[in-house]
Structure 1
Amino acid sequence: MAEDIYDKLSDPLALTIFIITLLIPVAVGLLAMLRTRSQSDFFIGGRTMSAFVVGLSAVSSGRSSWLVLGVSGMAYVSGVGAIWAIVGYTMVEAWQFIYLGRRLRKETQRYDSITLLDYFESRFNDKTRLLRITGVVIMIIFITAYVAAQFNAGAKSLSTAMDMPLALSLVISGLLVMIYMVLGGYVAVAYNDVVRALIMLVGLVVLPVVGIVNIGGIGILREMLMGLSPAHLDLFSLGAGVIIGFIGIGLGSPGQPHMVIRYMSIKDPVQLKYSAIFGTCWNIILGIGAVSIGLVGRLLVPEISRLPDEDPEMIYLVLSSGYFGPVLYGLLVGGVFAAILSTADSQLLVVASTFARDLYEKVIARKRQIDEKRKMYLSRAVVILSGILALMLAWVAEDLVFWLVLFAWGGLGAAFGPALVMSLFWKGATREGIAAGMIGGAAICIGWYLLFKEQTGVYELIPAFPGAVILIVVVSLLTRRRG
């Protein structure tokens, strides 16, 4: 039973640490409120964030429990080949910090843009608001579903850990995020991401080290894995198609609005090279740690039938329960919950900025003068409304939510990644070309998944990303204005 993992939380000390881990974000939100005085502060931290905060916040907001539970579970089943799942996004995000991020930061300050769609509209002088409206529709569909899925995952984790009804844990999950976001906006989200990144670092470094020591060292680990199955030590055992698909995950990174706004928030764009060091080291260390947990777990818990619900993604929690005392265990179980919410809060902030800034302020009420105080009230109100919408979706439309989330990373990556890269690095891009790339990228991603993925095994972002680039180039050349 899954509940067996959480028996140690009945220890008062473990439970106290777990609850403190859940409440830390609210305290951070209260402190962040002192730095949040304008809409720019609320959505991008007023462009005042440090290299360290931007580096850790950018990478941790993109990982969620997928890294902590998903990659470790993948390594438990497949062996060292799971490392390919981290190679693609690690390389792409290192490039983003140094090249894409620096250029985006300069361009968004030049245009006084505080959202990605602000930038697109200003970059192409789009008086028709074609790009903004297209982007709003795509973001609302994919990101709202993404937030709902994160709330649902967080609620299930909390429900199991605390033995409470799922509905109550869902409400608590949503309220925790909404409270500190309403208080501190982006500043609260960014600093909470740093705290969570450090908690995840502890878990994914200390746990495999403890496991390897218990096994008898790396040499014995290797010998035992070879005896269990040589494929577990074969980097290429998964096959070319799966490896290419794993590497292709990285193509989604430039199109994740909740990640790229981190680059817009840094105080000095030159400092992004240091963010690259912090973020890339975190990606590498935690990726290796997650794979190591899966390998160690395969030896310490060799039969998958011994895992709760026979789910390999539970290996992280099983090992934590077996090898850590109440203090560290309470921290790490809270860390799993925090990892889920670290993505939820970042995405909810994007949804809020999409509704408040991109839809209401720039489209519906574009002819009105709205003062800064009213903008702040509006932004905070939209956070609450967006959070409630995501909670409702998580509760009443779980099947729809998870269907949309299947395409969310790929869909956002295909819709906004090529558009952002081409707008920053190709002067020939036009408004119509970028719009075609957004719509076409998302459509190719969904179409490939539904029609071809099962037969080919190729991840949908692999054809969708270049397909969107081709659409941008062709349509831009056809619509380029002479003179």
Structure 2
Amino acid sequence: MRLQLTQMVPVMLVFGTFFLAMIVFGIAVYEETQTFTDFTLGGRRLNAFIAALSAEASDMSGWLFLGLPGAVYAAGIGATWIAIGLAIGTYLNWRLVAPRLRTYTQLANNSVTLSAYLEERFEDDSRVLRTVSAAVTVVFFTVYVASGFIAGGLLVGQLFGTGFGFGLTVFAVVMVTYSVLGGFRAVSTSHSVQGTLMVLAAFALPLIGLWQLGGFGPLFHALAAKSPSLLDMGTKASFDHGQWGAGKPLGAIAVISLLAWGLGYFGQPHILARFMGISSTADIPAARRIGVSWVFVALAGASLAGLIGIAELHQPLKKPELVFIALSAQLSNPWVTGLLLVAVLAAIKSTADSQLLVSATSLSEDFFRAFLKRRAPDTALVWVARGTVIVVALVAYVIALSGGDTVQDIVAYAWAGFGSSFGPVLLLSLYWPRMTKAGALAGIMAGALTVALWKYIDPLLGPLQTGLYAMVPGVLAATAAALLFGAFVGRPPRRVWSGSMEKKEPSRVPIG
């Protein structure tokens, strides 16, 4: 979809201002980014507001304004089960993981990556656990960043008619510039602005649409006229050539698969990094309330936009994922359209820059410092980290240029991969003192392999084929492997981390 000429100039000015502001963020915090911890975790000084908005903006990606409204537009409210699962997962992640992970990563030799934390937590002198987990992080996230580059390039290129290559280049250069200059603090601070834009857009566009329709009553009447199945939580409406049909019941397997997306939160390194960077565990309850409220408003608004698109758009869309963009162009003046579309860009960028930084941090910490320069000074590590941001971005850029037809598949696959590989192991590491290194390694490998092979395994079950989203068997396999090997193979760590966060050099004392 391309903007009309009368819309082009205002939207370009809004986009240009947004890109410039992102670079200014990087310049503004450059002088504050002097140590490796500053660059990778913002010196663990994020306040509750920034930590909450950064975590949620990092989480949602362009899926919030493309994938979710598109799914609801095509299938009706039955597609919102995934939003319910994500909302529950967000709350549980803040409640169960955030406080302990913030405490234990600092006490675990001030770990700045999940891999470093796991190595310290399980006293793994062999470095196998760190290497395996870091390799999973770097490989998956580099491809994940490429999917963000593709989405950003497509959005900019299609809106302004510049072509994918030019749009991709502009998007990548801006993101890499402020990430290299300001690191984690620039990324997280920019997320507070982007997260605000995202939630305002998710709230404002449905409000405009409801006002023009005359409220919920006319909306529901219009949806029922198209197909009653659009208003049935237990049904997935059919959509073919602009016509909605009765569809078919979702069934328990489909509902479980959609809800299971919420399980992925416990193992997403780019979200967990925000928990690690918050200034104090005392700030976590406030951050949790802000984050969960943000998620509820954003998911509800994006879902409602999909429904309003069915009733409001003059012509049915061939590509349902463009419903939010089409509504923005049809329902508002050019300046408001620019702000709404910048929110879409912000959603894409806020996830991609988080993943880019996590990948670069893992290369710097888990490979360069761990294996090459254990005594490297802080200033050298900062510059190595900046260099690895550029390296990862270049690889992702090349991958993005090679083609952009599998963005949604990459997102679903990587989300399940991280959630299954790291989620069960991380939860057990925080709550089971006798968990062993063997259990952690078995859990990571079982989760990753199950997700990678599930599309081949499930069809082999014949009549018992489930059709489950790979997250479900992946989490089950990882949990079973971690519990089995954790209970019977190897010895538990002699000491793990607990105690006062106020100590400059926390001592190791037994948990529980």
- Answer yes or no: same fold by TM over 0.5: yes
- Counterpart position of 2:485: 475
How do 1:328-343 and structure 2 match up within 5 A? Answer: 328-343=336-351
CA contact under 8 A between 2:420 and 2:471: conserved in structure 1?
yes
Structure 1 position 332, deviation (Å): 1.6
Distance 1:165 1:219, change over 3 A: closer
TM-score (norm 2): 0.89
- 1: distance between equivalents of 2:396 and 2:439? 32
Matches within 5 A, 1:305-320: 307=317, 310-320=318-328
CA separation of 1:236/1:399 partners in 2, compared to 1, >3 Å: closer, same or farther?
closer
Deviation at 1:139, TM superposition (A): 1.2
- The alignment-based identity, stated in percent, is 32
- On the 8 A contact 1:92/1:251 being kept in 2, the answer is yes
Question: Is residue 117–residue 132 contact of structure 1 (8 Å, CA) maintained in 2?
Answer: yes
Unaligned runs of at least 5 residues, structure 2: 237-249, 495-512
1:456-475 alignment runs, 5 A limit: 456-475=466-485
Match in the other structure for 2:285: 273
Whole-Å separation in 2 of the counterparts to 1:67 and 1:229: 25
The 1:220/1:456 distance shift into structure 2, 3 A limit, reads same
> Could you tell me how far 1:23 is from its partner in structure 2?
2.2
Structure 1 contact 255–414 (Cα < 8 Å) conserved: yes
* Count of residue correspondences: 474
Counterpart of 2:26, as a letter, is G
Counterpart position of 1:371? 377
Rounded to whole Å, the distance in 2 between the matches of 1:164 and 1:399 is 19
Question: Which residue identity does 1:181 align to in structure 2?
Answer: S
SS in 2 for 1:126: coil
TM-score, reference length from structure 1? 0.94
What letter corresponds to residue 59 of structure 2 in structure 1?
Answer: G
Is the CA contact 2:97–2:427 (under 8 Å) kept in the aligned structure 1? yes
Aligned to 1:254: 266
Change (3 A) 1:438 1:329: same
Matches within 5 A, 1:110-189: 110-111=107-108, 112-189=110-187
Identify if the C-alpha distance between structure 1 residues 58 and 128 changes in structure 2 by more than 3 Å, giving closer, same or farther. Answer: same
| CA distance, structure 2, for counterparts of residue 429 and residue 145 of structure 1 | 31
- Provide the rounded CA distance (Å) in 2 between the counterparts of 1:31 and 1:264: 23
- What letter is aligned with 2:87? T
Distance 1:398 1:13 in 2: 28
Q: CA separation of 1:326/1:400 partners in 2, compared to 1, >3 Å: closer, same or farther?
A: closer
User: Is the 8 Å Cα contact of residues 101 and 272 (structure 1) preserved in structure 2?
Assistant: yes
**One-letter amino acid matched to 2:426:** L
Partner of 2:276: 264
Kindly indicate which of the two structures has a greater share of residues assigned to helix.
Answer: 1
Whichever residue aligns with residue 32 of structure 2, its letter is: R
Rounded Cα–Cα distance in structure 1 between residues aligned with 2:40 and 2:399: 24
What is the alpha-carbon root mean square deviation over aligned residues? 1.8
Assess if the C-alpha contact under 8 Å between 2:26 and 2:182 holds in 1: yes
Is the CA contact (8 Å cut-off) linking 1:453 and 1:459 kept in structure 2? no
What are the within-5 Å matches in structure 2 for residues 283-298 of structure 1?
283-298=295-310
> Aligned partners of 1:405 and 1:219: how far apart in 2?
36
Closer/same/farther in 2, CA of residues 124 and 199 from structure 1, 3 Å limit: same
Question: Is 1:79 the equivalent of 2:80?
Answer: no
The CA deviation string for residues 74-115 of structure 1, in whole angstroms up to 9 with x for no partner, is 111111222211111211221221221000001011111111
**Partner-residue secondary structure (3-state), 1:54:** helix
Change (3 A) 1:296 1:403: closer
The CA deviation string for residues 114-165 of structure 1, in whole angstroms up to 9 with x for no partner, is: 1111110110111000111101221122111000111011111111122213
Is the Cα–Cα contact under 8 Å of residues 393 and 401 in structure 1 kept in the other structure? no
